[in-house]
Amino acid sequence: MTQETIAFIGGGNMATSLIAGLVADGQDPQRLIVSDPEKDKRDALLSRFGVRTIDDNAGAVRGADLVVLCIKPQMAARVCRELALAMEERRPLVVSVMAGIRERSIQQWLGGSAPLVRAMPNTPAMIQAGAIVLHATPETSATQRDQAETILRAGGLTRWVQNEEQMDAVTALSGSGPAYFFLLMEILEQAGADLGLDPENARLLTIQTALGAARMAMESDDSPGELRERVTSPGGTTERALDVLEEGGVRVLVTRAVNAACERSSELSRILAEER
């Protein structure tokens, strides 16, 4: 683990999950600085990890090698402008995990062409099981890309995209994706209970089945379609269930849902870019 000084602007769930992963990987907590206006959050991070805390964003970034923006998108313009002067001389690498905020807007608010990596994590990153997609601006060196990936890898799987426009598709697929699976689990759990299973058994069987299927897909060289075919015996119960789903248009419905999320991501990015 490299030992750069990393400043986290915002001490919420995402910052906490990344800090937990970094410290577990051997990062010196005294090289981690967290700025947050809420004293309770600062005290909790200090007690849990031994990191340095402060209530001054500009003070946090002075001397930092990397700055991780973990703030709400609605606060982006104001906070970035506050940081611009403090970051002007050192020009640290900036990593943004703010949903929907375009790179051009961040650089404009920071007052220049700062080296910047934009990341789109999903909520399982809070337990170091996330899917995190990154995109770097042209000003970002290969070394800085590696530094950003090292930080984000603390939250789970990391992948890069070549074009920032693809981040809307990422948001629709993996960013919103946990909710799709939670909905299916909710439906399966209720169906099991309706069929007479004890509610607790229905819940645990649903969760373990989802976990097992995900692990099989992750560890297998076969595609999900091939795995599905392997567990679908001709004339059996699984085939009957899948026939009902196909007849109901499940493929079209899910595709429409993901496309709708992608369109909304693009809309929100445009709205947030106009906020001042």
HEC assignment per residue over 254-272? HHHHHHHHHHHHHHHHHHH
Tell me the two tokens of residue 72: 């709400």
* pLDDT at 133 exceeding the cut of 80: yes
Q: pLDDT tier at 179 (50, 70, 90 boundaries)?
A: very high
pTM equals: 0.88
- Quote the percentage of the chain above a pLDDT of 90: 79
Tell me what pLDDT residue 2 has. 59
Q: pLDDT tier at 99 (50, 70, 90 boundaries)?
A: confident
Contacts of 133 (CB under 8 A, 6+ apart): 119, 120, 158, 159, 160, 161, 167, 170, 174
Round to whole Å and give the CA distance between 104 and 47.
37
Let me know: does 11 contact 45? Beta carbons within 8 Å.
Answer: yes
